[in-house]
Chains A and B, each alone.
Chain A
Amino acid sequence: MIVLVNDGRPGGCNRGDTAAFTRGERSEVIAHELGHNLFRLGDEYHNDTRNFVGVRGEANLTEQPATWAALKWGALVAAGTPLPTDPAALPGGWNNRTSVGAFEGGGANFSTGIFRPVLECRMNQNDPPWCPVCGQEIDRIMGAF
């Protein structure tokens, strides 16, 4: 459920299955929030240094898999891509938005123990478009309708 507030100032919040936005909120921010609300995507950013322990259900986040061959978005990883992927040693021709690997850090609070698929995505920095992994999940969910 989405509530639009007739206020020119930016703002909004989410609770359960309800999201509220002002008309002054940026469309990129609203798109990020709808990534959570409609498609159950996780935050790909992290601003804390905690270690994640557990299982991540979101399509765009994962705990360290038992083997990298079992990576949940493995079908979108190009052959020869190192897993996990080091942002400081990217393969030639790497595109930060569309090339898929497994970068450590994400889920808002965790710098270790959790992996995200790309360096730049709407679920990380707002302004980039959704990455291939998020796009695939959006397509899968929308397919039900």
Chain B
Amino acid sequence: MENTKHDTRQANRRGSRHLRVGLEISPAGVRVASMWAVDQPSVQSARLVEPILARIDLATRPVLVEAFADPRVTRGTFRKDLGHSYGVEQSGVVHVSVPFDDLRQLAEVRIRVLDASNAGLGATEPVGVAALFDSPPDSVRVIGDVDTASLRKHPDWLKVAAALVPADPGRFEIYLDRAGEYRWRFRRASGECVADSGQGYASREACENDVRWVRSHAPSSPVVSLDLLEGTRC
């Protein structure tokens, strides 16, 4: 029984991480309203009940379908003997998940949104909902879609990229040169050398001291643009 639950959990997960994309739905269609990265898989719901449907494709392949209550409808909290109260707005936001394992997959995202309020679909399983997007019946209204280009235009994209692209940690190396002196150099993770000690040290301790000094002072050191000073040649 426990194994069955575990298998179900695994089967419903999509990607190792996901983008959470806020989509504003209005009479003009769909536009990206917000975006952030989540370090968790998306979960594919087995039954889709709500009328606003979204299909997320990566490289033209559907990877997730989601359903939402109509975000243009505001429902007041339940009150005894009164029930809910309702209001209708011009626009509203739903948040879709774009699951991925590799950042390169985000190069070809497409999110399509349909309104099936009048279709009377009931609860529908994901494969059936995904197929609706290929040839929507007359009872289903196409609201709009967004793609990678739309995501990239949004200001949140830069924050997402900064959060997702792993920082290049680089590394300091201490080594002995041909003269038997100690030196240090700094390499990117790719192996490229971008800085070195410029001198040999007679002792390892002196070399380590300068590595410590560079590590502690470099982050707050100013950049002096000698190249921009007229007539300066170094």
A contacts, CB < 8 Å to B:
1, 10-18, 21, 25, 29-30, 32-33, 36, 40, 43, 45, 47, 54-59, 108, 125-126, 140-141, 143-145
Contacts and interface: CB of A to CB of B under 8 A. Distances in A.
A12 B79 CA distance: 11
Contact of B77 (A21, A43, A57): A21
Given A18-B93, A55-B122, A144-B46, 12 more contacts: A14-B77, A16-B68, A16-B71, A16-B94, A17-B68, A18-B71, A25-B77, A43-B83, A47-B82, A57-B47, A58-B49, A108-B83
Contact of B75 (A1, A14, A125, A141): A14
Contacts of A1: 95
Contacts of B120: 54-55
B76 interface: yes
Interface residues of B, number: 38
B5 A143 contact: yes
Contact of B84 (A21, A43, A58): A43
Contact of B52 (A16, A21, A126, A144): A16
Nearest to A127: B80
Interface string B38-50: 0000010111111
Contacts, number: 96
Interface SS majority for chain A: loop
Contacts of A13: 74-77
B92 A15 contact: yes
Given A16-B70, A40-B49, A57-B121, A32 B78 contact: yes
A56 B93 contact: no
A62 B177 CA distance: 81
Contacts of B71: 15-18
Given A15-B92, A16-B52, A143-B8, A33 B122 contact: no
Most buried by B among A15, A143, A145: A15
Contact of B92 (A16, A33, A40): A16
B80 A144 contact: no
Contacts of B81: 47
Contacts of A59: 47, 123
